[in-house]
Amino acid sequence: MIRLWFFILSAAFLIAPTGAEARKVALVIGNGNYANTSRLANPPNDIKLVAASAKQAGFDDVTVAANLSVNDFQKVMRDFRTKAEGAEIAMVYYAGHGIEAQGKNWLIPTDAQLKSDLDLPYEAINLDRMMEAVSGARIRIVILDSCRNNPFGRTWKSGTRAVQTGLAGVEADDVLVIFAAAPGQLAADGTTGNSPFATSLAKRLPQPDLPVQLLGGAIRDDVLAATGGRQRPFVSASITGTPFYLVPRAGQASTGNRAALEELMWKGAVAENSASAFRSYLAEFPAGKYAAQAGESVARLAKNPRAAPVAAKSLVTAALPATKKYTLSNIRVEAVKLTGRLGLGLPDQLFLRFNTGERFPEGSREIFSIKKGESWVVDRNFTFEQPVSFQLREFDDIGGSDNIGTVDLGSTPGTFTRTLDGDASDYKVTYTLTVG
């Protein structure tokens, strides 16, 4: 879910900036011609499509780079970091091989050999470097169309394992990160020469009246529909709740976008709890469903500008529509076969990681130690406001962690059993999902 950092909803953000302040920069990278592993046919097509849509969306500077070696990749990122410094918005799109290993996400240059995951810092690009490349801009977007099979991990020695499928979720402040697929899932290449994800991104980038805060959700809906629900894009966001538009607003937005925008602005106004924020909501939606409450709030704050924050909290409770609760309980993890760490028959060291960023046990070094035939009964319930997925992960011998398997909870209540057999393990996971 998009986490809102509530700033004053001023009209300046609701129109396209001009002049020097309008600078929007994009870096579009596609790696397909790999020298030492499987080649990818789609990235060269995808970057052409995405670059054209970025220009249509009003990006002033669009850099397109294809088939980058590790040295070229580093140079392109360094040059773009300079361009992004002080920009209104900076966006990076990457299509190509991407893997998770050592608990981190890595983007793979075309000359990588990666005979061991110990080679990753020397031959691959840590995703953190891409985050740094956009760090100087006001609005920062990183888009990863790279949740494909790890083509190198099969040859790595035991003890230097990587996740065979997908990328891990990230927690990044002030960055909108859109993954082509949920953590642990794979992204489809499609049958049209472009991936379903790239096709949706190219469609949505130049769409008027679509705030960047809603971009990931729109893409998610498109890709779910295009893949029959098999691929679920994932959004990790921690950016301002003030609507920001890539494309100047049209005369009238679609009904769906207007409704989403109204919710976004209202939540921001309630959390800001200032007269100016409520006035901005009223200026945009004078007859909106929260108009009466917004007017009352303006009057209340005019009488008492230092109204206690508790008033805003009560407004949220009274005004926001009720949401469903998805409660995960009765989790039982049974070890049928262990990973056989280092061939010594050592116990597996487990923890759960949700695609919301939450993990259990919560401490970064807390684990549950388990042997073959034993069970881990998780003594906690988890409640979410949307369907989520979680990974059963095991600490490896070099300080990272490996994904044994991913459970997508969905939205259907009941008690379920799933078999997870990644990383040379075999686990049976039973759980109950309650929806209400």
> Which pLDDT tens digit goes with each residue over 335-358?
998 765 444 557 888 888 887 667
Compute the distance between CA of residue 388 and CA of residue 36 in angstroms, rounded to an integer: 36
Place of tokens 């691929």: 231
Mean pLDDT across 119-131 = 89
Q: Is the distance from CB of 180 to CB of 146 less than 8 angstroms?
A: yes
pLDDT of residue 275: 76
Cα-Cα-Cα-Cα dihedral of 239, 244, 245, 248, to 10°? -170
Segment among 177-186, 197-206, 245-254, 357-366 with least mean pLDDT: 245-254
pLDDT of residue 308: 41
User: 278 falls in which pLDDT band (50, 70, 90)?
Assistant: confident
Q: Is the distance from CB of 116 to CB of 62 less than 8 angstroms?
A: no
Q: Has residue 190 got a pLDDT over 80?
A: no
pLDDT tens-digit readout, 9-64: 332 333 333 333 448 999 999 999 999 888 888 899 999 999 999 999 999 999 99
Count CB atoms within 10 A of the CB of residue 233: 29
Share of the chain above pLDDT 90, in %: 25
* Terminal-residue alpha carbon distance, the chain: 18
Q: Has residue 149 got a pLDDT over 60?
A: no
Give 76 or 344, the one with higher predicted confidence: 76
Count CB atoms within 10 A of the CB of residue 38: 10
3-state SS, residue 77 = helix
Q: How many residues does the chain have?
A: 436
User: 292 falls in which pLDDT band (50, 70, 90)?
Assistant: confident
Most confident of 126-140, 156-170, 288-302: 126-140
pLDDT of residue 67: 95
pLDDT of residue 206: 92
pLDDT of residue 294: 84
Compute the distance between CA of residue 245 and CA of residue 247 in angstroms, rounded to an integer: 5
User: 395 falls in which pLDDT band (50, 70, 90)?
Assistant: confident
Q: Is the distance from CB of 81 to CB of 140 less than 8 angstroms?
A: no
